Structure 1
């Protein structure tokens, strides 16, 4: 045990602008491919934040969970459809801090939680303290709490929130306490209840809400949570009545908005959507927009960056082709298909969730077949992403694309959508396709790191995109639909517009006007930096939430 990691520690002199001590709680952190404690966007965002906090010398630490089996390993069945594997992970580079705390879960008052630290020098982040219950002295059930990120079992999920929230808060106390406790999404909500009971004031609590999706704003029976130990102590009926909404439910987001001094949404549009979503609830705090961002040093290819800075078009195009060839080795390895670096390559890659519409391109099969069989303007398409392991409709869409693309030489569905592949897809794509139903994508950050690598966003005007897009100049944007119209109608219109944009704008520009295409690519890079790099975001958090 290295004693400096059981005190509040940074390997640098903290910049005076960022001197407030901030403990940043998140269920997942995407710091590196090899540390598999993330599932997707929320983790990638948290990882970029922790890297920028380190690079800007901020007084921040991360509090997260040490998932024994990670999220899941994406594999294939015999027919190439999706298989979810849970394989034990062991991390020899994490250090045991020696900090051990206990939390009460249901009828067990002594569930032990141990903190392991990811040191700054390992991956270039602020120290991140990762909590595990898989330790000596815990019974079997307690040891399984930190097995799987986003476990499908309701009781396990509640227990995970208690471990991250109350266990995490106790670990921060052991490190000397913080000036601000920041919840990245509502998973660690018990931290606020526990700290409040210890006399920590509302002024010290801040909160980020991430999603307009119902599933992302957890709601559970308040009495059940009270008996489970969610609040850190047993609340009286009167106290509980102050917390409940919608009958007898505790809504994690509403509760966090009531307890925090200030909260943020993750794009300007999302701030409007959030205010509208939660306006019917009393005592909620102000929600300001702090748009998500990604870490440029981590995500942007250095040679592409140099060619863009020097405005060397040919150098950029050659480097892009080399990166496409690298990506196509993965395509060949996984699908036995030979992709051509000269051909325009479209990538759709993110979590497979219904509202993100991975299969929107297949809405009109006749039009789609025409698009993929066009000899004048050839196209290659790659899909990649992980559905939640129990999201059977998401898995169905994934498998539908697998079956459809199997015998088509220019279509591929890749597994293993983690940080390494995500980066290769951004570096090796010409077009980054983003097709959520409008107002449903709070921010969406994959298009930011794609744009940094010269991949042109073809997108619905949702999330962060309205703040970035200059249609036909740095991206191609679909006309906006009325989000209140029936879903099937939105899908039909969006699909038609998507085919039109690809056929009449994207493909002709790429093949017939390469200089114009390159201008759009360079504009995309210029417009995404520095506005959507996480240095801006990490600085803005201090200015608007932490100071």
Structure 2
């Protein structure tokens, strides 16, 4: 028997459409009003989702969405936060615009890191380096810097340590469900998933690209877990700091 998986996209009522963009731009992670709005939708789901509003919207029952769409108090907050987000994105008089010696506006900075701690709902980090990298992207957005982050799309992210029923520590490697996380596939001019080809250790490797909006900037995550690649190559982006020494060097 062949089992197929389907990605369900929530059909939001018209007056809740703004939630779609607000849930997929990581701007909400450093905006308290936006955070509290998502908490107000369903406090239990907020914590169960590890603070991932995109997952929440895909999990809510249609009746709950319909009830929210008739809640004038919530709609007032939503419109207020939507306006705040739009003003933030459109703001041009940033620190970089006022101080940078870049009259032609051609400067572009690429920031590379093994991990990015932007929010719990995007588990591609383990600790201090990730938090630093994530904060750099958030600061670049606030300052209006022409900076983009580049990292890896880890299928399993970092190890999670839990206690079993006998109180022994065990390790878990849950797989990330990208279609319920604030990431999106980058597509080419023909509307197909973008593929970049590089030669790596004598082998041609296909790389997929995913984008995470972080305020005014973006994080681009590279993915080798593609059918076009060899089994060994596909494991490059299997897990953050996973595999043997050779695989870590390849990462």
Tell me which interval the TM-score lies in, with the shorter structure as reference length: 0.5 to 0.7
Maintained 8 Å contact 1:68/1:146: yes
Question: Does structure 1 residue 95 correspond to structure 2 residue 190?
Answer: no
| Equivalent in the alignment of 2:127 | 40
Q: CA RMSD in A?
A: 2.1
Structure 1 residue 107, shift from structure 2 partner: 3.8
Q: Take 1:27 and 1:113, find their aligned partners in 2: how far apart are those partners?
A: 16
Q: Distance in 2 between matches of 1:158 and 1:103?
A: 16
Name the CA distance, whole Å, in 2 between partners of 1:125 and 1:84.
36
* CA deviation map 1:96-123 (0-9, x unaligned): 1133212223342x11111110023xxx
Greater relative contact order (CA < 8 Å, ≥ 6 in sequence): 2
Matches within 5 A, 1:223-372: none
- Find the counterpart in structure 1 of residue 161 from structure 2: 74
Residue 134 of structure 1, aligned match among 213, 222, 225: 225
Counterpart for residue 145 of structure 1: 236
Aligned to 1:105: 200
Counterpart CA distance in 1 for 2:115 and 2:147 is 16
Q: How many Å separate the matches in 1 of 2:248 and 2:170?
A: 23
1:52–1:125: 8 Å Cα contact kept in structure 2?
Answer: no
Q: CA deviation at 1:88?
A: 0.8
Aligned residue number for residue 246 of structure 2: 155
Cα deviation code 1:364-384 (max 9, x no counterpart): xxxxxxxxxxxxxxxxxxxxx
What does residue 171 of structure 2 align with? 84
Q: Secondary structure at the match of 1:28?
A: coil
Following superposition, the deviation at residue 62 of structure 1 comes to: 0.4
1:56 pairs, out of 128, 143, 148, with 143
* Deviation digits for residues 139-171 of structure 1 (CA, Å, limit 9, x no counterpart): 2221111011112411211211xxxxxxxxxxx
Cross-structure match for 2:209? 115
After TM superposition, list the pairs within 5 Å mapping 1:198-237 onto structure 2: none
Unaligned runs of 5+ in 2: 1-88, 188-193
Give the equivalent residue in structure 2 for 1:420: none
Taking the TM superposition and a 5 Å limit, the aligned residue runs for 1:149-188 are 149-160=240-251
| CA deviation map 1:177-198 (0-9, x unaligned) | xxxxxxxxxxxxxxxxxxxxxx
CA separation of 1:125 and 1:155: change in aligned 2, threshold 3 A: farther
TM-score (norm 1): 0.26
How does 1:423-502 map onto structure 2 within 5 Å? none
Offset, 1:125:
6.2
Return the alpha-carbon distance in structure 2 between the equivalents of residues 94 and 25 of structure 1.
18
State the alpha-carbon separation in 1 of the partners of residues 159 and 238 from structure 2.
10
CA shift for structure 1 position 60 = 0.7
Provide, for residues 260-318 of structure 1, a one-character-per-residue CA deviation record: whole Å limited to 9, x for no partner.
Answer: xxxxxxxxxxxxxxxxxxxxxxxxxxxxxxxxxxxxxxxxxxxxxxxxxxxxxxxxxxx
Following superposition, the deviation at residue 30 of structure 1 comes to 0.2
Bigger CA radius of gyration = 1
In 2: Cα distance, 1:149 partner to 1:32 partner: 16
3-state SS of the aligned residue for 1:135? coil
1:113 touches 1:133 (CA, 8 Å); kept in 2? yes
Alpha carbons of structure 1 residues 29 and 125: separation in structure 2 relative to 1, 3 Å:
farther
Equivalent residue pairs, number: 147
CA distance in 2, matches of 1:49, 1:135: 30
Give 5+ residue unaligned stretches, structure 1. Answer: 1-10, 161-547
Displaced runs of 4 or more, over 6 A: none
